[in-house]
A and B are shown apart, each in its own frame.
Chain A
């Protein structure tokens, strides 16, 4: 009886959480321009989306989002991993300071990050554009990379690096062949987190994009929503994103379960 009540509670919450998403998915199969009216089943929006007919702006926005996310994530991961190694080897006092500064972008609300970098560019008289967006994204992604790599550093045997050096490796070689394999899971974790944060980001990009005409998916949707009438092709887009992530998570979960079962 307790079980039933508990499970019902959870499923009820999930139902409410997913109701709006379900609406988007359901209405992605109709042509009606306004979300909420049903004008007959059709997959026209999906074909329109894939044919690139949804308008150059949306296509550009999608491309920009992925491009920025990839670049920022790669640079963040490299920068953050090396920084994490550095921080790990610092003295206690210095480490505290750097850790504190590292945590600032994580605590800062995104609107503050966006505005502060906007002010930076205004103050320096530089024009905003792709560079400013990517730098801003690196700024708020790298702390998470550092935080993902640190635990692996702590678990790792601290002497293997020096052992490698003693055996004649150059620092760079030791980094690649000794440290990186140990830290790889943390790096992957940080990388994926960076991609997620970058794709999802809205406020920071809004303030750092300037007049360059660059839009990411978030800023495009924001401008679109303020005009009323969401571009219909966004419905199949978000449905696809949602279904693919759901599938991904289910697959990962299934494989993790299999592993546990196999190990038993």
Chain B
């Protein structure tokens, strides 16, 4: 007992409980996903699952389609969200501070409820469910995730740089193109990662908004795991992890302070 106390006296060891916890519940599970994905149906190590993925026309189709939907959703979110963040961050437009909060508020409502109410909305307005509904639903669910980082970045932007550019004779357009846009890019990257990633992996939204007609990659993984094809499901998960790893790698230049902590 005394030894433990002495050990914990050194502050850098305080992280140990957490490290052990993470090893069990974060690292080990992911390693297991990798392990299962390299097992074939008899339990031998092989690339069987990945071959199956590459030769299955259907799954590849779903995969590419999901990436397509994710890219389109992200694009639409940028197109709608960037101006919104800009208008809100710039005091010259006179938007009340509370507006930013109103954009964040829907995030606090359960995603399933939001999606179901979107279904109800479409039913109410007699619009058909399907691909259009899916894109609408995705943008609807993830737009706040795009607006918030961009808004954050724009707020923190050093206004004196803009003033300096204006002093040097730049007109509005140049100020925007050469000063504001580049400086807001970290926020945009952050938003892209926060939208693209979940869009690839959500399955509930597509299930509910298209009545299962359009299957996204997340649904395929979920179905495989549910139906007992753990190895194949694990392999698909690994593939998804790689895609996400690549995406966040590209957007990871921004500092961590962008992320959380200041939600209120």
Binding site for B on A (CB under 8 A): 2-3, 6-7, 9-10, 13-14, 16-21, 23-24, 27, 35-36, 79-80, 82-91, 94, 98, 101-113, 115-120, 122-123, 135-136, 138-139, 142, 144, 146-148, 150-151, 161, 171, 186, 189-190, 192-193, 196, 199-200, 202-203, 207, 217-218, 221-222, 225-226, 230, 234, 238, 241-242, 245-246, 249-250, 252-253, 257
Contacts and interface: CB of A to CB of B under 8 A. Distances in A.
Contacts of B263: 189, 192-193
B225 A136 contact: no
Contacts of B144: 17
Contacts of A139: 21-22, 25-26
Pick the 4 closest A-B CB pairs, nearest first: A86-B15, A116-B29, A86-B14, A109-B201
A79 B18 contact: yes
15 contacts: A20-B121, A79-B18, A82-B17, A86-B13, A89-B10, A107-B248, A109-B244, A111-B237, A112-B240, A116-B237, A117-B29, A122-B230, A192-B264, A242-B108, A245-B108
A147 B202 CA distance: 25
Contact of B261 (A88, A101, A105, A148): A148
Contact of A200 (B92, B111, B222, B233): B111
B170 interface: no
Interface of B: 8-19, 21-22, 24-30, 32-33, 36, 80, 83-84, 87-88, 92-95, 97-99, 101-103, 105-106, 108-114, 116-118, 120-121, 123-124, 140, 143-144, 197-198, 200-204, 207-208, 218, 221-222, 225, 230, 233-234, 237, 240-241, 244-245, 248, 256-257, 259-264
B17 A111 contact: no
Contact of B264 (A85, A138, A189): A189
Contacts of B118: 20
Is chain B's binding surface mostly helix, strand, loop or mixed? helix
Nearest to B198: A109
B106 A21 contact: yes
Contacts of A245: 105, 108-109
Contacts of B244: 107-109
Contact of B237 (A87, A112, A146, A190): A112
A234 B113 contact: yes
A114 B208 CA distance: 20
Contact of A6 (B8, B93, B261, B264): B93
A185 to B, nearest CB: 9
A24 B33 contact: no
Contacts of B33: 112, 115-116, 119
B197 A7 contact: no
A98 B12 CA distance: 12
A109 B140 contact: no
Is chain A's binding surface mostly helix, strand, loop or mixed? helix
A2 B92 CA distance: 9
Nearest to A140: B26
Contacts of B27: 101, 104
B103 A14 contact: yes
Nearest to A136: B25
B12 A10 contact: no
Nearest to A25: B117
B138 to A, nearest CB: 13
B108 A108 contact: no
B106 A250 contact: no
Given A86-B14, A203-B204, A257-B97, 4 more contacts: A10-B87, A79-B21, A87-B15, A207-B225
B200 A135 contact: no
B84 A9 contact: yes
Contacts of B230: 119, 122
A119 B15 contact: no
A138 to B, nearest CB: 7
A118 B225 contact: yes
Nearest to A101: B22
